[in-house]
Amino acid sequence: MNNFKIKKISEYKDDQLLEFYHHVFKDKNQKIIENFNWVYRRGSGHYEPLLLEIDNKIVGQAGLIPNDFLINEKKFKGIWFTDFIILPEYQKKGYGKILTEKWMEISPLKLTFCNDLSLKIFLKQGWQATNTYFRYILPLNLTNLTSLPGISSLKFIDKIYHKLIVKNFNQLNNLTVNKNIDDKISLISNHSNIKQNNFFVLRDRSWFKWRLLDCPYKENLVMLEYESDFLFANIINKNNQKKLNIIYSTKYEDSVFFDLIKNWAIQNNFDYLWFVCNKEIQSLSWCLSKKVNFAYKLDNFANDAIDIRNTNFQAIDSDLDFI
């Protein structure tokens, strides 16, 4: 094993970091890469990502997003594990294990949504895990989601399909669409911190300001309201397809609100909806879904009975919205 150093992200210049990120995160949205200071919520505390350096070259990173959590009504600081990468030529040499262990020393409260490979590593380190979270993809325009020759001329297929998946509610006129979200922060922060069991994410005003108002793709965000429910979504146009990426919602499942969202999305020519939910939705068992691994580790907490596996994490938490 070569001589190596593990440094904090603050020990590097932005151009050094960008050179590394552009190399290892080629499939990521470039706007996300270039706004890595926002992604890692730098400036919100002393927690920051770690980088692995060998021979004055960055060869790996263990990223993180700091966040406050309430456990039994007391506030604790914790970190989301994200953007872990080791250059291929340095893999399987023990560096990944060393970097992970160093990262785990940063905070006693650690959480992550991760792939199967990372999960195996975390389980060996004593983490707890569940795969009861689901990533749902709800197709809306079938003829635009297939490459079959001549399918685009069969629009009647979509009309039949729409009648099967949505309801024609008269309340659609009462659905409020708001692109100016600045004046809604107090409303949503008060709503999101309604007590959920003994553990939940502290999404306060400063958190929503970072996550929504300071978001580098804020111009693509939309807020939809109906009665006392609301959601935030990221509008994505890619590969001639229009996606409504729901990042936070007060209600899914079988509800008037969700049916109104589907109706609105169809009327505005979205090809599919995307969202993350902390339980399986039986009414959507027919659509595309994938289980998502969630793992966590609590060190030095007196209450060993704390179980956070059913916490209402959504795409707005961690990095699920932009991975």
- Contact call for residues 208 and 252 (beta carbons, < 8 A): no
Q: How many CA atoms lie within 13 A of 36 on its CB side?
A: 25
Same domain, 139 and 272: yes
Q: Is residue 72 part of a domain?
A: yes
Of residues 131 and 173, more confidence is placed in 131
Q: What is the pLDDT of residues 253-271, one digit of tens each?
A: 768 888 899 999 998 999 9
Q: Say how many domains are in the chain.
A: 2
pLDDT for 265 equals 94
pLDDT beyond 90 at 158: no
pLDDT beyond 60 at 63: yes
Q: What is the pLDDT of residues 74-107, one digit of tens each?
A: 889 999 999 999 999 999 999 998 999 999 999 9
CATH of the domain at 158: 3.40.630
Same domain, 152 and 285: yes
Q: Is residue 124 part of a domain?
A: no
- Contact call for residues 225 and 176 (beta carbons, < 8 A): yes
Q: What percent of the chain has pLDDT over 90?
A: 52
Instruction: Tell me, rounded to whole angstroms, the distance of Cα 51 from its chain centroid.
Output: 22
Of residues 41 and 73, more confidence is placed in 41
Please give the structure tokens belonging to residue 302.
């007196």
pLDDT beyond 80 at 147: no
* 244 confidence band (pLDDT: 50, 70, 90): very high
Of 91, 107, 123, the one marking the end of a domain is 107
Q: Is residue 145 part of a domain?
A: yes
pLDDT beyond 80 at 305: no
* 52 confidence band (pLDDT: 50, 70, 90): very high
CA distances from residue 98 to 11, 43, 105, 125 in whole angstroms, order as listed = 19, 26, 11, 12
pLDDT beyond 70 at 62: yes
Q: What is the pLDDT of residues 13-42, one digit of tens each?
A: 999 999 999 999 988 888 999 999 999 999
pLDDT beyond 60 at 70: yes
Identify the domain containing residue 283 by its residue range: 134-291
d(CA 253, CA 90) in angstroms, rounded, equals 45
Same domain, 78 and 173: no
pLDDT for 228 equals 83
pLDDT for 278 equals 87
From the number of C-beta atoms within 10 Å of its C-beta (0-12, 13-18, 19+), residue 290 rates as exposed
Same domain, 279 and 181: yes
* 192 confidence band (pLDDT: 50, 70, 90): low
* 196 confidence band (pLDDT: 50, 70, 90): low
Q: What percent of the chain has pLDDT over 70?
A: 91
Mean pLDDT of the chain, nearest integer: 87
Quick check: helix, strand or coil at residue 122?
A: helix
Q: Is residue 45 part of a domain?
A: yes
pLDDT beyond 90 at 242: yes
Same domain, 283 and 185: yes
CATH of the domain at 26: 3.40.630.30
Q: Is residue 297 part of a domain?
A: no
> For 5-9, what is the mean pLDDT?
96
